[in-house]
Amino acid sequence: MQNIAKRFVADESGATAIEYGLVAAMMGIAVVAIFTAFQGKLKAAFETMGTALQTQAAKIQ
């Protein structure tokens, strides 16, 4: 029984999984914050690309 308790205390695989989870959560928060900060510029860029694609598509037809 003591051997099982020692192995349980020494096992760090769960800690590693938690650390990876925290890193993934922080990255997700950072992505949301960046998209929120650049929302206007991103919208303008995608609208410009959409307009250019529509113009080129109209020329093809």
How confident is the model at residue 2, as a pLDDT? 77
> Looking at this protein, which amino acid is placed at residue 18?
I
Chain-centre distance for alpha carbon 36: 13
How confident is the model at residue 15, as a pLDDT? 74
Chain-centre distance for alpha carbon 45: 21
CA pair distance 54, 50, nearest whole angstrom: 6
What is the Cβ-side half-sphere exposure of residue 55, based on CA atoms within 13 angstroms?
6
How confident is the model at residue 22, as a pLDDT? 95
pLDDT per residue rounded down to tens, the chain (61 residues)? 778 777 777 776 677 888 899 999 999 999 999 999 999 999 999 999 999 999 999 999 7
How confident is the model at residue 51, as a pLDDT? 96
- Distance in Å from the first CA to the final CA of the chain: 78
How confident is the model at residue 10, as a pLDDT? 74
